Structure 1
Amino acid sequence: MLQNPHQLYEYHVWANDRLFTRLEQLPKDVFHAQVTSVFPSVSQTFGHMYIYEQLYMSVLAEVPNENIFPRIPDWTEEAQDTTVDEMRRLFACVAEQFRDLLRRTPDLDRAMTIGHPKYGRFDTHFSDILQHVVNHGTYHRGNVTAMLRQQGYAGVPTDYMFYLIERRDG
């Protein structure tokens, strides 16, 4: 069980916001510049993250797969050809939906069985999936930092420890 799932999710939002703030300080073309990485651009990395934020929020809300998968093209389209500001707004919207889901969920460690299209049925817990959402974001924020460095720009620290220090000092 996660010790503080609300705090962990707030860290995730904080880390994304720090990266968006950094991107807003850089030339606009950095967001869409083609690089050799996991995804071909920073914008496409964030697009992927956005789709999976929506997908896993739906999984946690226990939306059936047959209602989730038809939405993926809509989420994909929403995230294509956006500016940093537009992408940030998409993330802010999904974060509010996530927060609402967390507020409405009395047992954040409740058992769940999910169906994965490739791996089949999987017994897990709400908190495990939430942890996955945060880990997924951490992984891709690292990709973005590497992409920025390839383009000659420094990233921004988004480690959990920096979040805790900022909260303490804030």
Structure 2
Amino acid sequence: MKQTGLKLYDYHVWANNKFFVCLKELPEEVYEQNIQSVFPSIAEALAHIYIVDTVWLGIMRGKEFEEVKESSLKAVEEVKGKSIEEMEQLFKTVSKQYKEFFKSEHDLDKPVAPVHPHFGRLETSITELIQHVVNHGTYHRGNIAAMIRQLGHKGVSTDYIFYLYEENGKK
């Protein structure tokens, strides 16, 4: 299962990168343009993905709720007013941190039990949390794709199968 979780995370990084390439090709104002959607702008949607990625990395590392909450508040401040290029760099940094964590963690299937003050204790594994991070990113990249189309531009396809075809073509 370890390889599957890591491959899914690689897909998450690949799909995020595809969106950064796409967004940098669009008119600059599209990134922060207000839109009636799930998020008020594409910038806000990307910020949300980044913040949640940092939260789950903290949880995978075994940090307590208060420490994770503090780091998420720091991430909220960190993303304010960032350009596409600056957000891209933040995403690269957090993905590097994930990869370092994966290299140091010998058992991604080991049980973990994060505790949330409202939802209680969750019995899960790091692999399942990786799946959640990937699903969360996929869901909100879908929001961003719809927002791009709503603003009159062509988006990018980031279905998992396209990642597999691209990876297969590199071999």
Report TM bin, short chain: over 0.9
Partner residue, 2:41: 41
Q: Which residue of 1 aligns with 2:67?
A: 67
Which 5+ residue runs of structure 1 have no aligned equivalent?
none
Query: Structure 2: any 5+ residue segments left out of the alignment?
Result: none
1:23-38 matches, cutoff 5 A: 23-38=23-38
TM-score (norm 1): 0.97
Matched, 1:134 2:123: no
5 Å-filtered alignment, 1:81-96, equals: 81-96=81-96
What is aligned with 1:11?
A: 11
Aligned mates of 2:25, 2:16 — CA distance in 1: 15
State the Cα deviation string for residues 22-81 of structure 1 (Å, max 9, x = none). Answer: 000001111100111111000000111111000000000001112111222210011111
Q: Distance in 1 between matches of 2:132 and 2:141?
A: 14
Divergent runs of 4+, >3 A: none
| 1:100 match | 100
* Partners of 1:88 and 1:3 in 2: CA distance: 26
Show the counterpart of 2:50.
50
Secondary structure of the 2:102 match is helix
Distance in 1, Cα, partners of 2:116 & 2:67: 13
Deviation at 1:150, TM superposition (A): 0.8
Scaled by the length of structure 2, the TM-score of the pair is 0.96
Q: 1:142 to 1:5 in 2, by over 3 A?
A: same
Q: Tell me by how many angstroms 1:117 deviates.
A: 2.8
Tell me, in whole angstroms, the C-alpha distance in 1 between the residues paired with 2:73 and 2:55: 11
Between stretches 82-91 and 2-11, larger displacement belongs to 2-11
- Letter of the structure 2 residue corresponding to residue 32 of structure 1: E
Distance 2:17 2:99 in 1: 15
Shift of 1:2: 6.0
Q: How many residues align?
A: 170
Match of 2:114 in 1: 114
**SS of match in other structure, 1:72:** helix
- Secondary structure of the residue aligned to 2:63 is coil
Which amino acid letter does the alignment assign opposite residue 56 of structure 2? Y
What amino acid maps onto 2:123 in structure 1?
D
In the other structure, the counterpart of 1:146 is 146
